[in-house]
Structure 1
Amino acid sequence: MTRPVITAYDWVPDFAKGLVRDLQVRWALEEVGRSYDVRYLSQGSQKAPAHRAQQPFGQVPTYQQGDLVLFESGAIVLHIARTHAGLLPDDPSGRARAIEWMFAALNTVEPPITDYGVAAVLERDQPWSQPRMPAVVARIEERLGDLAARLADAEWLDGSFSAGDLMMVGVLRQLRDSGLVEAHPTLAAYVDRGTARPAFRRALDAQMQGFTGSPPPGFAAWLEKQAQGAAA
């Protein structure tokens, strides 16, 4: 069987390190004991036609194994989980519930977290950023409260660790340093359990070691503009 090849960035800003979506794919591959190769992209090259032929939105990761090419981290993780043992239960009902939690992570919990990242980082120099924050935070707190209530004192979301937990922990990690997850001790402990798994540590180390490239032209000016916006 040919080794899968995933794509990843060779450079991202410090705030994005450890959060780029190839991490979830690496983690899934590590969980199932599957070796893989990485094709690194410099910033900007992900928008070139060659990469858009595999990822029409010009993002990472992609996954290629033989003739199969996939994009979207959730779809890739689901494929890995379906074709290797270890990330989905054996019984059909358990498998369906694990996949349900994958969708919940990406479609229910993540959208307000993405809004938070946009307002807090990418557009924090814009006049509409701070006025939006209370409503964005309120939506996140509602989702986290619901999730914490469902998790209660369980170790994982539905029985044993699954692809659903992998994706949910990946989503919750986007709130690092915000204090929002820590406001729910059960969720903070849940994330800690996920990130303590050896497969996660290997995946994170591999991603961090791959950041050997240089920032694109104009990044320093953008960073200075962001800093000025934060200080205003």
Structure 2
Amino acid sequence: MPASSEPNIRISAFRWVPDFAQGMVRDIRIRWALEEIDRPYDTSLLDAMQPRDAEYRQWQPFGQVPAFDDGNVSLFESGAILLYLGEQDERLLPNDSRERWNSTAWLIAALNSVEPTLSTIVSYDIFHADKDWAKAARPAAVELAEARLQSLSDALGDKDWLTGRFTIADIMMVTVLRNLRHTDILAGFPRLAAYQQRGEQRPAFQRALKAQTETFAGHQPQMA
């Protein structure tokens, strides 16, 4: 979202990443949440190909994105940032204690139970595609991922959203499932494919995606 005046929210993001990563960098999770609640924000852009300096590591100890600052708190890790934003706006996280903790559990499940299995496939397919060991290990990784996806599909059932209404848990889970966009794995789970599509069709997601990809387009490296 472009700055309307002088937004007090600032997030870190990359100026540019290769095509396979565009739309996938995790600042999109925070952009999406902010778009859902109509909060303006500004970005601090980093060069993804250069080491982060000591000053940035005071903000994000691991040198990753996103990092977040609203003048009151400075945070890192997308899950923590989403929980912080959810605490401020019921459109992202219910006030009801039971519903709130259910949504929190699903957000953590996306990060701990689902994303690691999908990230392994991404690693094999994109970063180690030319390695024989990766090709040999991939079938077992896909089998584990499919088992997790089946459990997720069973839990989702016929609901539109994980807890019945849209929350930060869905922002996290939809963005996690997008890790498989280079494969046809999700096609084997029609409920999850439809769930991901519902998330991506939300106007707030579309605005977040546009903001991220326009930044990349504006900083496309010049060919020598």
* TM-score w.r.t. length of structure 2: 0.92
Structure 2 residue corresponding to 1:124, chosen from 114, 129, 132: 129
Percent of aligned pairs with the same amino acid: 44
Q: Kindly indicate whether residue 143 of structure 2 is the aligned counterpart of residue 169 of structure 1.
A: no
Aligned residues: 218
1:110-146 residue CA offsets vs partner (Å, 9 max, x unmatched): 0111111111111222331101101110011000111
Question: Which 5+ residue runs of structure 2 have no aligned equivalent?
Answer: 1-5
Q: Distance in 1 between matches of 2:83 and 2:215?
A: 24
1:175–1:181: 8 Å Cα contact kept in structure 2?
Answer: yes
Matched with 1:72 is 77
In the TM superposition, residue 214 of structure 1 has moved relative to its aligned partner by 4.7
Q: Distance in 2 between matches of 1:31 and 1:91?
A: 20
Q: Distance in 2 between matches of 1:151 and 1:182?
A: 16
In the TM superposition, residue 181 of structure 1 has moved relative to its aligned partner by 1.0
Counterpart mapping for 1:187-198 below 5 A? 187-198=192-203
In the TM superposition, residue 153 of structure 1 has moved relative to its aligned partner by 1.2
Matched with 1:213 is 219
**Over the residues paired in the alignment, what is the CA RMSD in angstroms?**
1.9
The amino acid across from 1:137 in the alignment is V
Q: Kindly indicate whether residue 156 of structure 2 is the aligned counterpart of residue 151 of structure 1.
A: yes
In the TM superposition, residue 215 of structure 1 has moved relative to its aligned partner by 5.2
Q: Distance in 1 between matches of 2:41 and 2:105?
A: 27
Matched with 1:59 is 64
The amino acid across from 1:213 in the alignment is H
Q: Distance in 1 between matches of 2:64 and 2:11?
A: 12
1:69-127 residue CA offsets vs partner (Å, 9 max, x unmatched): 11111111111111123011121000000001000000000011111111111122233
Question: Which 5+ residue runs of structure 1 have no aligned equivalent?
Answer: 221-232
Moved over 3 A (4+): none
Structure 1 residue corresponding to 2:93, chosen from 82, 88, 94: 88
Structure 1 counterpart SS, 2:101? helix
